[in-house]
Structure 1
Amino acid sequence: MKRIGSLLQDRLALLSLFIITSTLLAGIFAPWIAPNDPEEVHMELRFASASWEYLLGNDHLGRCVLSRLIYGIRPSVLGVLAVLAISVGIGTAIGFIAGYFKGKLDALLMRICDIMLSFPGYVMTLGIIGILGVGLQHILLAFVLMKWSWFARIIRTSVMQYADAEYVKFSKTLGIGSLRIIWKHIVPVTVPVIAVTSSSAFSSMVLQLSGYSFLGLGVQAPHAEWGMMLNEAREVMFSRPELLLAPGITTILFVSAVHFFTDALQVALDPKLGSSGRKKQRKGRFQTANLQGSEVA
């Protein structure tokens, strides 16, 4: 409770949480929130300025920019969130098994992880796209293949720190089953690591998906996606910069909110990080965001 209280006292964390929650809800309830059909073409409104009916104007096909931004949340954020949950689930299961039971099973699982991690993420994604073709589902499949081994490695390291603790050994001498020991003694202390690692990877995956869609490898027309909207607005970036700024600012705002919330979450879960640690963490988040942005570009 004290950890949650310290998190709630951070105004920037609360603002970030509000942005993240609002974005997720807008994506889930997009059919009821979006003012217009995101795929409806009105050539007579091509590049029309903002109006009461179209608050952010219309794109090169006369489609509602605001509606496309809202519907773009689904692949850009909700799709990534679903893949993240699958990757974390697989990585957590393997990490707990390898870190707790150790021995030959640990060696086998970690060698498999080493094989998966030996492939650069972008190379693996491009390879899957080259074999299966372009499309959102293929990029999300590549994300699962890339991320589960990374999560497994991190969670295994965390589990091994507690697997040999005295209270765990005492539980074993009492004849308590391994599953119960893991659930009662190890899961609670590893949840902070899983939460921080997952939230940190979330923003990176959102940027990567937008980058692939910007290159024409992800979401395909006429469906809406933030990266694809950036690509469509390139040709009029000087005459109609608002068409480029709308998805760009939305992406930056959401990714920054995830970064700041991850920072606050890590500080709340780790009492050793004081105010100086908080500043260092946020500085690191800015550097990470800049690095990820350059990778996508």
Structure 2
Amino acid sequence: MRIFKNLSKDKLATISVTVIVVTIIVGLFAPFFAPHDPNQVNMSLRYASSSWEYLLGNDHLGRCILSRIIYGIRPSVLWVLVALFISVLIGAVLGFLSGYFRGKVDAFIMRVCDIMLSFPGYVMTLAIVGILGVGLGNILIAFILVKWAWFARVIRTSVMQYSELEYVKFSKASGISDLKIIYKHLVPVTFSDIAVISSSSIGSMILQISGFSFLGLGIQAPNAEWGMMLNEAREVMFTRPELMLAPGLAIVIVVSAFNFLSDALQVALDPKLLNSKKRPQQKSPTTTVKIQKKEVAH
């Protein structure tokens, strides 16, 4: 496919994809990669420095930090990807219905989206968590309830744009069913837009779930999560800063990888951006005059 060919030419995108794929694989098979039980308490190793057995050292309960980082991929990344997929799926279904059929269907769905988007995202999420209670599952439910409306509005705009193309109008005039037109003509062309907005949202969702866990609203002890590990290490952040460094770097690396991938996807899927990136910069008239003067002087 053209998109993979364009991405393979971008070194930063290739590195980002590699980081994301490795992170997902390590998270899925955490028991095989983690050297120790992430919840095993050993007070004799409390705040122990790094060693060959414990590469990143031990926390305040003597637990292996590396093992907890590996197991923390599941709530910090994998479950966020699941919540993102559900949000995009709901937003895509409603966005296609609204953008293709329009009329009363569009008006009703958009009014519901307007109501959902009128509340700030963080406030809405905190309100839902306050009603349902703390925990990873409730935060993921809050993400789905808050995010779907934004995806529905963006996808609706994309569907309305592509619905005006000539071959789509011809398909309608030919009597082809609406479901077949959506599946065969609109889904392929809107997939690029959906991929870009999804990849750009995953980074902010990872930061949000880490922030909620840092505040004690996310996954609860003794389960491992990167934001909660930062909270546990803040009491010794000046005497043992390396305890905050490991989960902090994990968040930065993964979020940066998703953000770089989002930028690369946008360039790879948009021929105009790709051509402008390849096109060499033209020299200004002033620069050309200076070069000519130097050549004459020599």
Q: Tell me, yes or no, whether TM beats 0.5.
A: yes
Deviations 1:245-291 (A, max 9, x none): 0000110011001111111111000011147669xxxxxxxxxxxxx
**What's 1:121 paired with?**
121
CA distance in 2, matches of 1:173, 1:117: 36
CA contact (8 A) 2:268 2:274 kept: no
Q: Secondary structure at the match of 2:272?
A: coil
**What's 2:147 paired with?**
147
**What's 2:250 paired with?**
250
- Alignment of 1:68 with 2:68, yes or no, is yes
Question: By how many angstroms is 1:197 displaced?
Answer: 0.2
Long gaps (5+) in structure 2: 279-298
**What's 2:26 paired with?**
26
Q: Secondary structure at the match of 1:272?
A: helix
Deviations 1:162-203 (A, max 9, x none): 112221111112111001111111111100000000000001
Question: By how many angstroms is 1:72 displaced?
Answer: 0.3
**What's 2:215 paired with?**
215
Match for 2:60: what amino acid? H
Q: How does 1:1-297 map to 2 (within 5 A)?
A: 1-274=1-274
Q: Secondary structure at the match of 2:271?
A: coil
Question: By how many angstroms is 1:3 displaced?
Answer: 3.1
Deviations 1:65-97 (A, max 9, x none): 000000000000001000000000000000000
CA distance in 2, matches of 1:274, 1:7: 11
Question: By how many angstroms is 1:120 displaced?
Answer: 1.1
Long gaps (5+) in structure 1: 279-297
**What's 1:289 paired with?**
none
Match for 1:137: what amino acid? G
Count of aligned pairs between the two proteins: 278
Match for 1:12: what amino acid? L
Deviating runs (4+, > 4 A) in structure 1? 275-278
CA contact (8 A) 2:95 2:152 kept: yes
Superposed CA RMSD in Å reads 1.2
